[in-house]
Amino acid sequence: MFQSFDSAGDPTVGKPRVALLRQWLKENGLDGFVVPRADEHQGEYVPPRSNRLRWLTGFSGSAGVAIVLARSAYIFVDGRYTLQVRDEVDLDIFTVESLIDNPPSVWIKESLPKGARLGIDPWLHTMGEVKALTTATEKVGAVLVPLARNPIDAIWEDQPDAPLAPVEIHPEAFAGELAKDKLKRLAAAIENDGATHVILTDPSSLAWAFNIRGGDVPHTPLALGFAILSADGSHAVFMDKRKLGRTEEAYLTQLADIKAPSKLDDAVAALAKSGAKIALDPVLAADRLRALIEDNGGTVVQAPDPARLPRATKNAQEIAGSRAAHRRDGAAVAKLLCWLDRQNPGSLDEIAVVTKLEECRRQTGEETQMPLRDVSFDTISGAGANGAIMHYRVSKATSRVLAEGELFLLDSGAQYQDGTTDITRTMPVGKPSEEMRERFTLVLKGMIAISLARFPAGTRGADIDALARIALWKNGLDYAHGTGHGVGSYLAVHEGPQRIAKTGMEKLLAGMILSNEPGYYKEGHYGIRLENLILVTPTAELPGGDIAMHGFETLTLAPFDQRLLRADLLTREELDWLNAYHARVLAEIGPMLDGETLAWLEKATAQIA
């Protein structure tokens, strides 16, 4: 199985480990330490070795920070995790703070004692983060202390080893462009930024630029490493050679020098001493790299990672692969939903559904000769009150039975070699209440509003986020997460820089893939989320219009549960969209199904009068 259901609850988490950290800090002349949920690459998904925040606190979410002082400790999470953090973290030890409203850089100005020495690991904070933390500590008369060694590593006795998953070459048939051609484009971008070199710190950029994939982090096919690219076309990759077979090593050697990760510091320092102008992305690159360059006489050029936008704007073959992956995935989800409909309320728990869904995806992959490589994240399988926990992770300790009269929220995704998927559907168990039906329909209206949107070139995600919320706002409701995140091509299911959110400042360009996932959550009762992936596409000039527009093509193919729908709340345009979408679902995935599942799909996609 790809997903583990092991429960948390290690008795050494929390108080004993915080005590060990405090003892280390005391012995080393520090008053506190910042523990982010990050590794040296600032990725959302980190290998077990780097999940220091979870080891210390028990918190398993993908975004958070802890600050441990001599007599107090704090954990900062965003709105997705306000319920989860209270279930996983000892609140007698940690005070919960908002990562959005009161982030560490703001909290420090109000709460850190004057004269305090606050330690950080400069590999685990970006340049931008360290600048904000430095400004905050200086304002209160405290000192931010970059450490040569992370104290968690010093006290974590059974810390896992660094991952060594094998690297594989990502074929041009799926990548759509040879690595040597990508590297030429990146070399030109380096020169345009006024730099001589760039350090790629994001493993997704490394994977995209060199057309490689790996398995160093859960559910995302990344090979952890760094690359130094040069405007003159000479490049170096810093990666453990034990990950490379003969074929992969020979392939990479044609593109770059391969060096051990331990050589990165010396290589950066040597370039800096030679007068190099080295580009770093201030929102991605570790501050340790900035210090290495500046301390050795080099120049830091602050510029966006040059691979991010090319990676985000998918080419024709990547788009074709994503469409194919979504057809297969839609067929697998239909098999699961058909099976789920045949079960009696109270006969299944959340784990049983996750296990069955993986089975359906594996089976469909085998039938179509495109195997399921992995799930793209831990499936969110939330029955009843668990569905209200936005990023709930089912475990043996928390798994609930799907009970009569409740809602069941299923958010899942898959990794196939030709594409990455992410889909959420919400289903009733037995007869839903009228409140459930009303709020499901309001959420669906928000999804349809995004699906129907037309917008000029240059429009940002922040400009259209409100479209998904208006129906909820009119009824005094909202949700505490973004409406859409970027999605990679057999890469990270959460990919930047594109997003649909209040903070989504990146322009939405043709070829970008994003999620469309409004929701509603009633704490202690149920959660509703609906999610399709969408592709930004140019559209034909609208009748009577005088400027070219963009729109969205929906990639995900699976029906919405009509038992939760109040058709009287939909406009004619919304109802037409829903009927057309369901007709397309039947046309595209129906030929991949037969028997009972096909009959179920025909009923589930029936036209609504």
At residue 13, the pLDDT reads 79
* CB 577 within 8 Å of CB 532: no
**Residue 12 above 80 pLDDT?**
no
At residue 520, the pLDDT reads 98
Average pLDDT, the chain: 95
At residue 545, the pLDDT reads 78
At residue 5, the pLDDT reads 76
Per residue in 171-206, pLDDT (tens digit) is 999 999 999 999 999 999 999 999 999 999 999 999
How many distinct helices (H) and strands (E) make up the chain? 20, 28
Mean pLDDT of 75-91: 89
pTM of the model: 0.94
Residue 2: pLDDT band with limits 50, 70, 90: confident
Instruction: List the single range of 14-18, 200-204, 350-354 with lowest mean pLDDT.
Output: 14-18
Mean pLDDT of 102-113: 94
**Residue 341 above 70 pLDDT?**
yes
At residue 483, the pLDDT reads 98
* CB 557 within 8 Å of CB 585: yes
Residue 83: pLDDT band with limits 50, 70, 90: confident
Residue 19: pLDDT band with limits 50, 70, 90: very high
Per residue in 239-287, pLDDT (tens digit) is 999 999 999 999 999 999 999 999 999 999 999 999 999 999 999 999 9
Q: Label residues 59-95 b or e (16+ Cβ within 10 Å = b).
A: bbbbbbbbbbbeeebbbbbbbbbebbbebbbeeebbe
At residue 10, the pLDDT reads 64
* CB 536 within 8 Å of CB 512: yes
**Residue 543 above 80 pLDDT?**
no
Mean pLDDT of 335-342: 98
**Residue 120 above 90 pLDDT?**
yes
Both tokens of 230, joined, read 């040069």
Instruction: List the single range of 7-11, 72-76, 99-103, 297-301 with lowest mean pLDDT.
Output: 7-11
**Residue 541 above 70 pLDDT?**
no
